[in-house]
Chains A and B, each alone.
Chain A
């Protein structure tokens, strides 16, 4: 009896492993193996296929700190992070709050509208923003005919406005995505909690801060980590909207990594891999801090 039970459990365990195997093997080969390879490559230097072990071993990593353009791209990326992520998440939570209102009409329509930007491909939306803000583009035409500006503004050719447009584009693209998480979180909060608060005479403002935000905390932490992660790896917008310009004013870290590896033909694969791992470590540290801050357990 005892023996039989054991073998059934063993069988189940084996079946479980067999089911897991294909996915696990694929992930190992397609994802982890390249990561290990990239880590090894990050200790090599040279051009194209002629890679040799770097001397000293940390040559590529030491170079990163002396690289002015990498520092520029780091600053750009953190500027996007510091401005875009808070605006986007606050907007998302407000929209979620509004769309969660029980008395709101055409809720489905509004939700679809807010979520729809997320369904567009990164490249196509970047190209649409690019044509909107082109020197002869729609935005300039509208502003001209309204008499707000008197000559075409070179939005994407000026450092300040180019950065602003990337941030606007990011907010447009990702707010709806985060809103969906908040909406799902809000629907898990029992409506009776709000009713009780109302009876106690709480204002909507304090209801939001004392009930909604604490109960949404896990979702907020998750969206924060995802947004930080996504922003640090920002690539499509920088490449397609501004190509990093003018004068590297909008280049992101991932874009610079790509340029070093594939941009102009001379492939500095070792150095690019080293930069990728530095970005990876940054993401890991920020995510770790975020999880510690958001952790409510004592």
Chain B
């Protein structure tokens, strides 16, 4: 009897000990050793998406080899996600040992400011790099600029797109022209009609990421922060935006997913929606629902008072780290590829990785003018670059993601409490703002 119990326990322990091994096996290629490059013509870089930003870096490597230095080599070290790069910087910063960082990192724009505040020694500025900064959208650069000094070279473009299924709009009696420059009130009416006729939601959001409020407020030209302090609770437009979001959720205009995979796999790929609003990097996700090819078109965002709204969400830039042993080479490489609006880099990045530039001159190349079948032949890349130039610059904050999280809590509470009135919205947002201020005071 006891023997059997022991055998059982042993089997259990053995089985349990197997599990972590398989889990960690995935991380085995995450480098922990010294990753700074030795060779004088080699630079190392962290990036994370083999279908998106890594082809862009390969394009830049080829460009620099062809036109500047044939011996140049870019050692691209693949990470499993953007958070790996953030964790690597956190680890280096906390331990005060930057020797484990590569020469260059690809870094999420929204995170840069707070990582600069927390770990200033981890970064090297680009003050001396010969880059025509006016060629980039001002909004994009606002993320990577600290006290007018540039730190990052933009890679992709986070411009938000509002994509609609034209066939479903038509079924409900509307066209994409009706939606361009409409008010949010009109949008809600269309959304109700679309859901009634087709059973699809006109909008969706990841309920653990809550990125819509930020974009909708940016389309109004305003920020959740003023002079570093959160001020969204007393912002009338923001109150109206949150009220609209709650109303949309309650009327089946907006599908609120529980998390990111609910948002992408169920809502977008699972064909539950007639509209998508997010940074243009969401396009590859949309394209996975192949049966809807040709039915989508994109335009700008609705606004509260009507008129076209422009916003941006996400995106990343390349930054030189404090561990870079060849800052001149790194700056020259960045300046002559991504920084120079080089069509050789950006055309290949678009073709191989779907990376859309925010360099205005690179966006004029022929490749950008081509129509895209999935979007009914619309030349979406040129359209996105054009929209990107209109995105208003708003105040950014270290606490961007925290604000999103606390506002997400407010939205959840409002949805659960029934039809929202102005006072309830104001109170919920005040709670969110208080909690954020509390955290910031620490």
Contact = CB atoms under 8 A, between A and B. Distances in A.
Contacts of A246: 207, 258, 412, 416
B409 A247 contact: yes
Contact of B93 (A48, A262, A271): A48
Interface in B172-210: 207-208
Report, nearest first, the 9 A-B pairs whose CB atoms are least far apart: A48-B118, A247-B412, A121-B19, A119-B15, A264-B401, A247-B409, A246-B412, A119-B12, A157-B258
Interface stretch (B1-9, B222-230, B233-241, B311-319): B1-9
B67 interface: no
A49 B262 contact: no
Contacts of A247: 408-410, 412-413, 416
Contacts of A123: 23
Interface in A48-78: 48-50, 60, 63, 66-69
Contacts of A245: 207-208, 258-259, 408, 412
Interface stretch (A81-89, A110-118, A194-202, A215-223): A110-118
A80 to B, nearest CB: 20
B317 to A, nearest CB: 16
Contacts of A118: 12, 16
A97 interface: no
Interface string A1-39: 000000000000000000000000000000000000000
Interface string A225-264: 0000000000000000011011110000000000010101
B258 A135 contact: yes
B81 interface: no
A154 interface: yes
Interface in B372-429: 398-399, 401-402, 405, 408-410, 412-413, 416
Interface stretch (A167-175, A180-188, A278-286): A180-188
Nearest to A274: B442
A139 interface: no
B342 interface: no
A213 B398 CA distance: 56
Of the candidates B20, B94, B119, B412, the one having the most CB atoms from chain A within 10 angstroms of its own CB is: B412
Contact of A248 (B19, B117, B409): B409
Nearest to A180: B9
Given A136-B270, A243-B208, A265 B86 contact: yes
B266 A267 contact: no
A187 B409 CA distance: 51
A119 B16 contact: yes
B208 A265 contact: no
B72 interface: no
Interface in A108-148: 108, 111-112, 115-116, 118-121, 123-124, 134-136
The DSSP consensus for interface residues of chain A is: helix
A115 B90 CA distance: 39
Nearest to B406: A69
Nearest to A72: B409
A118 B1 CA distance: 21
A45 B262 CA distance: 37
B258 A266 contact: no
Interface in B108-126: 111, 114-115, 117-119
A267 B413 contact: no
B1 A187 contact: yes
Interface in B87-134: 87, 90, 93-94, 96, 111, 114-115, 117-119
Interface residues of B, number: 49
A17 B23 CA distance: 37
A194 to B, nearest CB: 16
Contacts of B118: 47-50, 266-267
A48 B114 CA distance: 9
Nearest to A107: B4
Contacts, number: 125
Nearest to B256: A157
Interface residues of A, number: 51
Given A67-B438, A246-B207, A246-B412, A187 B16 contact: no
A267 B402 CA distance: 12
B435 interface: yes
Given A245-B258, A265-B111, A268-B439, A157 B207 contact: yes
A267 B90 contact: yes
19 contacts: A45-B442, A47-B398, A63-B442, A107-B4, A111-B5, A115-B12, A119-B16, A121-B16, A134-B262, A135-B258, A187-B1, A245-B408, A246-B412, A247-B416, A262-B87, A264-B399, A264-B405, A266-B114, A267-B118
Given A66-B438, A154-B258, 7 more contacts: A63-B438, A67-B438, A69-B435, A124-B19, A264-B401, A266-B402, A269-B94
A153 interface: no
Contact of A243 (B1, B5, B259): B259
Contacts of B5: 111, 180, 183-184, 187
Contacts of B86: 265
Contacts of B20: 121
Contact of B117 (A47, A68, A180, A264): A47
Given A119-B12, A154-B258, A270-B442, A48 B117 contact: yes
B9 to A, nearest CB: 7
Nearest to A54: B442
A206 B28 CA distance: 57
A135 B8 contact: no
A49 B93 contact: yes
Nearest to B259: A243
A63 B439 CA distance: 10
A48 B409 contact: no
B89 to A, nearest CB: 9
B262 A135 contact: yes
B10 to A, nearest CB: 11
Contacts of A271: 442
Contacts of A187: 1-2, 5
Contact of B398 (A136, A180, A266): A266
B267 to A, nearest CB: 10
Nearest to A157: B258
A246 B119 CA distance: 32
